[in-house]
Amino acid sequence: MIKMVARMTLVSLALVLVLSVGFGGALAQDDGIPRGGIVTVSHEAFSVVLRNFSPFAPTQNPASQAFIYEPLMVWNEVDGEIIPWLATGFVWSDDLLTLTFNIREGVMWNDGETFDANDVLYTMNLTREFPALDRGAVWAFLDSVELLDDYTIQFNLGEVYSLADVLIAQTRPVPEHIWSELDDPVTFVDDDPVATGPFSVVCRLEDQVFELCANPLYWQEGRPYVDAIRYPAYPGNEQSTLALINGDIDWGGHFIPDVETTYAAADPDNFNFYYWPGGATVNLYMNTTKAPYDDVAFRRAVSQAIDYNAVVNIGMYGYTIPSDPTGLGPRFEGWASQEALERAAELGLNEYAPSAAAATLDEAGYLDVNGDGFRELPNGDPMSMNVQVVNGWTDWVTSVQIISQNLQDIGVNAQVVTPEFGEWLNNLQTGDYDISIGWSSSGYTPWNYYRDSLDSSLLGADNIANATSWSRWFSDDADALLAAFTATADPDEQFQVLSDLQMLFVENVPLVPLFPGPTWYQWNTQQFTGFPTADNYYTQGSPWSRDSNSRLLVAVNIHCIDDTACGQE
């Protein structure tokens, strides 16, 4: 298996890299790295702290992911590596129906019990017994799990699903000796977690702040370097921005308008920000079940009409770049299909050209027959549309205002509407909208982006468009390609399938990619260092990364700038 070999090389490469930068290094105090200090983190708005650290609660405290309960392996979004963590690696069988993970030896739960593959097995069976706990939906493709020995566990797949490795690697094992005693693991409020994470000791929890202290039994010797991570409550962006400017936050994940002057200028030597343009692409969705959005010519005209530079530079404050027509973005450059890109260039997609857009509409029969300044549908009926954006999401609102102006410029009567978040989502899901801006899905490969937008199985029985299938554009070709991708692990075959998907995407324009989502990230070096920087962006820096574990790489790496800076607070 070429793919298997490739993955294994990747894993061993990652191992070497990890060891070379010191994960699991043997030198404890002699490494010259200062210890101590409390790092203050802020990335989500909350007002009071509630004691709930269950790794399964969908509403969980953001810290339960990664810092408390660790995954088997950490997927680094920036370079695509899968870094060994609680598991040291995995092997696929030749028929792609079994996947064997090797579990790390010498790891202890923070109560002193030994962690081994039995805990992983217990966790897997727990999520099978209680589907409410299967947040990774792994039982959608798994058939059974069996123990080979105390440090080897085998996953048997019911069907070939080549992305299973990454999904299983995200599993966060829970301790069997604690969880097996529970009456109801679904409603278990894990107030005093027994976990393996670097900051898994809840040492302070008050109405407006909580702190996670370093786990003294952590398996990476000498790490973490800091004593604790503190989460203060900030109910809104204004409050966290003020705190950032005041130097109260060391590690932030907030959107700050005009960040150079509002934040960085307050202490240019220490206040840093870097918005990696590797987030999932933000798109313009069109309801293809309605006219004129069911007409590919109209959708193509929209793609030609938008001033992408203005959207990115004015709407998004220049914090990102215009998307390419395939929507893959810089993170998945290696997957880009030259053919698809050439075809997109031929069609003029994702290039600001109002005259070309107008010509496309003329040709397709959208003309201003009654002379009111706006085009009508080819059958002569009036045409007007609402472009939706979530109320209060200021960067998106400005972007959509520019887009609606662009549409007006080519004679399309478009207005901006700003429903509240819940209503906005409901409109998209029930198909009660014309055009809307929206996010998309990210994953280990670009497959998730296309699957979550184009897979016809996402249209529920109740006619609800799940995930980001809001355009409601489905085709048998797309379904077949999406299925073909996960049925093989051969990189060449996968590349070909994805190229075909890109071609299908640019030919049909089911949605218009606008820009890769910037990942908000600020760090303050008055006391701490070791953060990913613009020059050394070793992993995703933003502490806001819901299911992503890459912040774990940052957390075990941050340390005091010197022995005096991090005095007792």
Partner 1 sequence: MRFILRRLGFYLIALLVSVTLNFMIPRLMSGDPVQLMFARFQGRMDPRAIESLYETFGFVQGPLHEQYFTYLSHLLQGDLGVSIANFPIPVTEVIAVGLGWTLRLVGLATVIAFSAGIFLGIRAAWRRGRFADSVILPITGLLSAFPYFWLAMLVLYFFALGLGWFPLGHAYSLDIHQDWSSPEYLSSVLHHMILPATTIVLTAIGGWMLGMRNNMISVLSEDYITMAQAKGLSDRRVMYTYAARNAILPSLTGFAMSLGFVLGGALLTEIVFSYPGVGYTLLTAVNTRDYPLMQGVFLMITVAVLVANLLADTMYVLLDPRVRAA
- Subset of residues 16 to 55 that bind partner 1, contact rule: CB under 8 A: 47-52, 54
547 is a contact residue toward partner 1 (CB under 8 A): yes
Report the residue from 32, 112, 371, 422 that binds partner 1 according to the rule CB under 8 A: 422
188 is a contact residue toward partner 1 (CB under 8 A): yes
Q: What values do phi and psi take at 483, rounded to 5?
A: -70, -35
| Spatial contact of 285 and 511, defined as CB atoms under 8 Å apart | yes
- Subset of residues 382 to 421 that bind partner 1, contact rule: CB under 8 A: 420-421
374 is a contact residue toward partner 1 (CB under 8 A): no
Bridge partner residues of 5 (DSSP): none
546 is a contact residue toward partner 1 (CB under 8 A): yes
78 is a contact residue toward partner 1 (CB under 8 A): no
Report the residue from 439, 444, 495, 537 that binds partner 1 according to the rule CB under 8 A: 439
Report the residue from 16, 19, 31, 131 that binds partner 1 according to the rule CB under 8 A: 131
Q: Other CB atoms closer than 10 Å to residue 47's CB: what's the count?
A: 11
Q: How far is the CB of 486 from partner 1 (least distance, A)?
A: 12
| Spatial contact of 350 and 512, defined as CB atoms under 8 Å apart | yes
Task: Select 381 or 546, whichever has its Cβ closest to partner 1.
Answer: 546
Local structure of 243: helix, strand or coil: helix
Which tokens in the block code for residue 30?
């002699």
Q: How far is the CB of 425 from partner 1 (least distance, A)?
A: 5
Which tokens in the block code for residue 338?
């030259």
CA-to-CA dists, residue 393 to 34, 74, 240, 520, angstroms:
41, 31, 16, 14
The upper half-sphere exposure of residue 530, i.e. CA atoms within 13 Å in the direction of its Cβ, equals: 24
Report the residue from 448, 488, 496, 533 that binds partner 1 according to the rule CB under 8 A: 448
In the stretch 201-240, what mask flags binding to partner 1 with x, by CB under 8 A?
A: ---x-xxxx--------------------x-xxxxx-xx-
Q: How far is the CB of 373 from partner 1 (least distance, A)?
A: 34
- Long-range contacts of 366-370, Cβ-Cβ distance < 8 Å, separation of 24 or more: 366/292, 366/298, 366/301, 366/412, 368/411
514 is a contact residue toward partner 1 (CB under 8 A): no
Bridge partner residues of 84 (DSSP): 73
Q: Other CB atoms closer than 10 Å to residue 20's CB: what's the count?
A: 9
Report the residue from 425, 459, 484, 565 that binds partner 1 according to the rule CB under 8 A: 425
Q: What values do phi and psi take at 285, rounded to 5?
A: -95, 145
Q: What values do phi and psi take at 149, rounded to 5?
A: -155, -170
Q: How far is the CB of 162 from partner 1 (least distance, A)?
A: 15
Per CB under 8 A, residues contacting partner 1 are 47-52, 54, 57-59, 130-137, 140, 167, 186-189, 204, 206-209, 230, 232-236, 238-239, 242-243, 246, 248, 280, 420-423, 425-427, 429, 439-442, 448, 451-452, 455, 458, 464, 466-468, 545-548, 569
